[in-house]
Amino acid sequence: MRSPWFALAFAGSLVASACGATSSANATPTPTVSRPPEPQVQSFTPSPTSTIDTRPEARPTTPPAAILIDVDGTGTHLRARPVDPVTLADVPGYAPISFEHHYQAAVHPSGGTIAAVMWPGGNGNYGATVHLIDTARWIDRTLDTKIDAYTTALRFDATGAAVYWAQPVTGASTETTTALWKLDVASGSAREVVRLPANLYARDVLTFKGRVAVYAEPGGNVLIDGQRRDAPTVFVVDPASARIVATIPLPVRAGQYQDPAAATADEPWRQIAPGLAWDGPRSRLFVADAESERIFRVDLDAGTIAGPFEPKPRRSLADVLWALLGGTTAQAKMQSSDRQQATVSADGARLYVSGVRSTFAKGQDGKYHEQLVPLDLRVIDTAGMVELARTAAASTALWLAPDGSSLLYGSERWDSTAEGYATRSEWTLHLADGASARERASFPAGGTAWLASFNRDSTIAYVSWTAIVGGTLASATLQAVDLRAGRIAAARDMERHVADLLVVAPR
């Protein structure tokens, strides 16, 4: 479970390219001795406040329901401790557990256990350790597995017996290979399950029906006759036999591609990111093409693709504005992009798609300016692949409550008069009806809003943002949004730039 803002707070930490060191791909680690029942507070994990009582005898009788992760007093490491899920106040009786410099984490399907990969520093993805945290007893168990690369998100299987992730493995070849890993929760041992073909970077994994799907994109800018050598691909893996049982190339582009409108050959690239919506219970993946309104439906069981579907195809206002932009693409670090966001309801009945197109064009002043065109937020019936609703666009990911009743997304205002990237302002969090996407409430934010998590009964969403002052990350704010009443139920301003929350209440 990770929030996209985390990459902003720790730039390059989780989306960087593979590190040079070789990971322990062939090792079969065994768990180390568990830490003492009450972890000692290290110098880099001071108590959350000077007044909170961290003695175990001060604990409530009920186990923790929510875990807050923020920056410790040094500003270079993270700490975790329980908070009240309603008020967001610290719960007494718990000394903070270090979450190192940055991390990936997932919560057991039944709650109560956190699996996490933690990296110790910000200069690279070296030296990470794997942890299992019992939140009821507040015990952090450090395993022997070492990771010297970034990882995808961690995913428990449906039973909670195993955790899967993918990570790059660098060998003698100059090409990068990605490996799928499995952690056995009971024994604490981790092993490599299978390796993907070379030169593919895994971006996400999904567990379903005893199998694992891995979405991977081509690495680098390798072109053959102007085309990418590899297509973005979904691999279906059978962990029991450690085999890839299906390879499904997707009929869309993903990654960096040559931009025919580039002004120079120095940086003629455009970043393309299709929207992905996993529908695990029905073994499906919906893919929203970033360069059109096409939708594809992937059957993970059969290994087949249906589509393209173009629900209610028409030339939208966004397309008209896009056609009027003209100009030429900027060079250097001002990279143009096409980005889609997608999510699907828990019952698989509705698909939600939105996105933003960004291009750098030379203005009348002779300088390059970022021009942005938001793409409408569309609600699509997955049975007939028809459009049910269309509304103003989102500039963040789309977050649908587990019961499908509420939809959250962020928006912002762009000012393209500045040279280079457009200036962002007027950040807003929107709460909409899950069926119609009709707005029910909106709340001002101090930065780009990101969802931390929903509570178990879909009545509260925990949202955070980090303010940027003078080009520097400032303080973060965590809010509990009452989805039924359409109001902010609680808010907490942090001292520094990170605020994440993991819901661990038992199901």
Indicate whether 287 pLDDT > 70: yes
Is the pLDDT assigned to residue 14 strictly greater than 60?
Answer: no
Over 60: is that where the pLDDT of 482 sits?
Answer: yes
pTM for the predicted model, two decimal places: 0.83
Contacts of 124 (CB under 8 A, 6+ apart): 16, 19
User: Computed over its alpha carbons, how large is the radius of gyration of the chain?
Assistant: 23
* Beta strands per DSSP E along 35-91: 66-71, 78-83
Reference 286, options 339, 350, 337, 338; nearest CA is 350
Tens of pLDDT along 412-440? 988 888 777 788 888 999 999 999 999 99
pLDDT confidence tier of residue 262, bands split at 50, 70 and 90: low
DSSP letter at 464 equals: E
Give the least confident one: 79-93, 101-115, 188-202, 218-232: 218-232
pLDDT category of residue 172 using cuts at 50, 70 and 90: very low
What domains does the chain contain, in order, with CATH numbers?
251-444 (2.40.128.630)
Instruction: With residue 9 as reference, give the H or E element that holds it.
Output: helix 5-9
Residue 380 has pLDDT above 70, yes or no: yes
Count of CB atoms within 10 A of residue 359's CB?
25
pLDDT of residue 312: 64
For the ranges 18-22, 167-171, 185-189, 478-482, which has the lowest average pLDDT? 18-22
Q: What is the pLDDT of residue 221?
A: 54
Mean pLDDT over each residue of the chain, to the nearest integer = 82
CA distance linking residue 86 with residue 66, whole number of Å:
9
Residue 377 CA to residue 284 CA, distance in Å, equals: 21
Distance CA 250, CA 239 (A): 23
Give the C-alpha separation, 420 to 7, whole Å.
21
Percent of the chain with pLDDT over 90: 60
Going by C-beta distance under 8 Å and a sequence separation of 6 or more, which residues neighbour residue 322?
Answer: 357, 373
The number of residues in the chain equals 507
pLDDT tens across 101-131, in order?
A: 999 999 999 999 999 999 998 777 889 999 9
Which neighbouring-strand residues pair with 224? 227
Nearest to 183 by CA among 208, 203, 161: 161
How many whole angstroms separate alpha carbon 487 and alpha carbon 481?
6
- Of residues 217 and 228, more confidently modeled: 217
Between CA 226 and CA 231, with CA 229 as vertex, the angle to 5 degrees is: 110
Average the pLDDT over 468-486 and give the result.
Answer: 90
Residue 113 token pair:
């256990």
pLDDT at 250: 96
Residue 1, pLDDT above cutoff 50: no
Question: CA distances (Å), 351 to each of 101, 207, 316, 390, in order?
Answer: 35, 20, 19, 12
CA 69 to each of CA 90, 233, 308: distance values in angstroms, whole numbers, following the listed order: 11, 34, 42
Measured between alpha carbons, how far is 197 from 204 in angstroms, rounded to an integer?
A: 16
Average pLDDT for 452-468: 94
Find all residues with CB under 8 Å of 123, minimum gap 6, and list them.
Answer: none
CB 458 within 8 A of CB 469: no
